[in-house]
Amino acid sequence: MGQIEVQDLTKDYGSRKGIFQVNFSVEKGEIFGFLGPNGAGKTTTIRHLMGFIRPDSGSVSIKGMDCFEKREEIQKILGYLPGEISLLDQMTGTEYLNFMAGMKGLRDRSYMNELITYFELDPRSKILKMSKGMKQKLAIVCAFMQKPEILILDEPTSGLDPLMQIRFIDLLLEEKKRGVTILMSSHIFEEVEKTCDRTAIIREGRLATIENMNTLAEKKKKVYTVTFTDGQAARNFAEAAQKYEAKVLDHQVQLSAGGRPGEVLKKIALADPVDVDIKSQSLEELFLHFYDKEEA
């Protein structure tokens, strides 16, 4: 049984909005990615996990406890970073962190201070006057400060500059070493690729796929861009290489193929092109078709 279990979770908001029959489970010590376009249902799923809303049908549980009924028990071991950061605007950052530490019954605040230093956060100003990035850092400190067993992070790096995004990824990997279970929604393929063990893709409220990130690397195709002297040669070559999804662009041909490159290269060599360029497909390209409504 996983640390986080989502079974047949359905919440129908009408006019095809909501989430439908979502199933997944997150194992202990795993970083589980949650990818999908805006409005796909990532946040709705996370709200169920936090016990903010109740499922229409299906169930959500954390460590065997129902997320709605046992919310306060679950919160003892959970750190949460909301997607839409809305903190208490009238407080200063310091007041907010102390308030939240008080709410969580946290006595030892040394880790909180470590995190503040780590993210180079100056929490003394009023939250109302803070930039998006500062608020994000504040929310990150708040989610991590009690060293929770389980972390639920809704788009954790939005608003962070590249340097801080890298620091955040390092922090995630450190937490993983401690055995923390992490569920993280994201828009950024790179951070998912670097951190997640498995990734679920959600679109229009339905889970499209769950990919294991290690086996995914094998599925990645390579894109060969073959350049010829003229358009006729390109078209001839494309016809000969139809099975590699050949696309003609003027006097260039693009092929994409998985598996070993030898066979493709042989074929290319026979056609005697002017130039060849080979690129690995990125995770983004691999997943992008899930984002495209037309292709479904």
Partner 1 sequence: MMVWTLFKRNMRSSLKILIALFAVISMYTAVIVYMYNPELSEMLSGYQEVLPDMMAVVGMTGIATNILEWIQIYLYGFIMILFPMIFGIIVVNKLIMSYIDSGSMASLLSSPHSRTRIILTQAVTSVFLMFILMAAVTLLGFFCSHAMFPGELDTARYIELNASLLLMQFMNLGIGFTAACFCSESRHFYLLGAGIPILFFLFQMLSNMGGSMEKLKYFTLYTLFPAEKIVQAGGDVWPRNLIMASIALALFAAGILWFRRRDLSI
Q: Name residue 52's amino acid.
A: F
Name the residue nearer to partner 1 (CB basis): 36 or 148. Answer: 148
Describe the chain by its helix, strand, coil percentages, rounded to 5: 40, 30, 35
Which among 218, 238, 220 has a CA at the least distance from the CA of 228? 238
114, 153, 280 from 130: Cα distances, Å: 20, 21, 40
Q: How many CB atoms lie within 10 A of CB 293?
A: 9
Q: Does 53 bind partner 1 (CB under 8 A)?
A: yes
82 binds partner 1 (CB under 8 A): yes
Q: Which helix (H) or strand (E) holds 20?
A: strand 17-26
Which of residues 12, 27, 64, 102 is near partner 1 by CB under 8 A?
102
The interface region with partner 1, picked from 67-75, 194-202, 239-247, 248-256 by CB under 8 A, is 67-75
H/E element, 33: strand 31-35
Token output for 102: 């008080």
Question: Measuring CA to CA, which residue among 218, 203, 252, 224 is closest to residue 20?
Answer: 203
CB of 103 to partner 1, least distance (A): 4
Q: Which one of residues 28, 52, 59, 111 is an interface residue with partner 1 (CB under 8 A)?
A: 52
Q: 123-182: which residues touch partner 1 (CB under 8 A)?
A: 142-143
Which position among 8, 12, 27, 73 is part of the footprint of partner 1 (CB under 8 A)? 73
Rank residues 99 and 291 by Cβ distance to partner 1 and give the closer one: 99
Footprint of partner 1 on 256-285 (CB under 8 A): none
Residues that bind partner 1 (CB under 8 A): 47, 50-54, 71-73, 75-76, 78, 80, 82, 84, 86-90, 99-100, 102-105, 142-143
